[in-house]
């Protein structure tokens, strides 16, 4: 981070193995974010993954069932992406979500929020479900991605979010392994369901 600039912690999660924390941090200008992992027992810093750009926002850390692989979706002034990495800090893949969904970079972040208009959740060890929201058109795009092969494995679903305002966005996605469905909940209360 540039010296002399205030560092803000956006969110902190504990990995499912209860051995590490993963923190998302940003400088006050939101031009650089950091993904940092620490060991809980030793309180030691393990690694930092920097993400730099014009206006970078990120909010959630999703992980596989044992906490060994994580995914952080982010936006850089409307360029929507996600980074997948393991618990040693090795970047496994980075996916450009605008290209995957066939959308432009007009879905900018909202001032005062760190949500990047994207949610994700692991549905298997190397499969990740993404929901991408385009604020201008109120369209929701979703698909399943394999970080192991760096490829989109499903068709890209498209749903128009009714009665959506420009400050609406997907808040969280959940995988239901019993019914093999994924649910995505929006800030304004809408819910999208998709079979995996």
Query: Does residue 84 lie in a domain region?
Result: yes
Tokens matching residue 9: 């912690």
Query: Is the pLDDT confidence value at 185 over 90?
Result: yes
What pLDDT is attached to residue 5? 65
What pLDDT is attached to residue 1? 46
What pLDDT is attached to residue 196? 79
User: Among candidates 127, 133, 141, which has minimal Cα distance to 177?
Assistant: 127
Region 45-62: mean pLDDT is 96
- Reported as a single tens digit per residue, the pLDDT across 30-49 is 999 999 999 998 878 999 99
Q: Are 56 and 35 in contact (CB under 8 A)?
A: no
The alpha carbon torsion through 126, 187, 191, 12 (nearest 10 deg) reads: 30
What pLDDT is attached to residue 133? 97
Query: Does residue 77 lie in a domain region?
Result: yes
What pLDDT is attached to residue 184? 97
Tokens matching residue 42: 């030793």
Tokens matching residue 175: 């995988």
How many helices, marked H, and strands, marked E, lie in the chain? 1, 17
Query: Is the pLDDT confidence value at 53 over 90?
Result: yes
Query: Does residue 114 lie in a domain region?
Result: yes
Query: Does residue 122 lie in a domain region?
Result: yes
Considering Cα of 11, then 116, then 61, then 44, what sign does the dihedral take?
negative
- Reported as a single tens digit per residue, the pLDDT across 90-121 is 999 999 999 999 999 999 999 999 999 999 99
Region 53-66: mean pLDDT is 96
Considering Cα of 81, then 168, then 172, then 28, what sign does the dihedral take?
positive
CATH number of residue 63's parent domain: 2.130.10.10
Tokens matching residue 47: 């690694």
Domain that holds residue 187: 55-195
Query: Does residue 123 lie in a domain region?
Result: yes
Query: Does residue 32 lie in a domain region?
Result: no
The percent of residues in the chain predicted with pLDDT above 90, rounded, is: 90
32-46, 136-150, 169-183: segment of lowest average pLDDT: 32-46
Where are the extended beta strands (E) located within 40-149? 44-52, 56-58, 62-63, 69-76, 79-86, 91-96, 118-122, 127-134, 139-146
150 backbone φψ class: left, alpha, beta (φ>0; ψ -120 to 50): left
Region 4-20: mean pLDDT is 89
Query: Does residue 164 lie in a domain region?
Result: yes
Query: Does residue 90 lie in a domain region?
Result: yes
Q: Are 83 and 71 in contact (CB under 8 A)?
A: yes
What pLDDT is attached to residue 165? 95
Query: Is the pLDDT confidence value at 4 over 90?
Result: no
- Domain total for the chain? 1
Q: Are 56 and 31 in contact (CB under 8 A)?
A: yes
């Amino acid at each position: 981070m540039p010296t002399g600039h205030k560092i803000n912690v956006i969110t902190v999660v504990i990995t499912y193995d209860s051995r590490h924390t993963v923190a998302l941090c940003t400088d006050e200008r939101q031009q650089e974010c950091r993904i940092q992992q620490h060991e809980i027992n030793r309180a030691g810093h393990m690694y930092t993954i920097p993400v730099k750009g014009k206006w970078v926002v990120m909010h959630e850390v999703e992980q596989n069932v044992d906490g060994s692989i994580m995914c952080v979706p982010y936006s850089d002034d409307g360029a929507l992406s996600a980074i997948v990495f393991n618990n040693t800090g090795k970047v496994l893949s980075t996916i450009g979500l605008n290209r995957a969904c066939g959308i432009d970079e007009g879905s900018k972040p909202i001032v005062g929020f760190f949500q990047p208009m994207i949610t994700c959740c692991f549905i298997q060890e190397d499969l990740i479900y993404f929901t991408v929201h385009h604020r201008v058109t109120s369209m929701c795009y979703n698909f399943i991605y394999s970080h192991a092969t760096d490829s989109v494995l499903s068709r890209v679903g498209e749903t128009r979010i009714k009665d959506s305002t420009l400050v609406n966005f997907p808040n969280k996605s959940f995988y239901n392994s019993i019914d093999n469905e994924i649910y995505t909940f929006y800030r304004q209360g809408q819910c999208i369901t998709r079979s995996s």
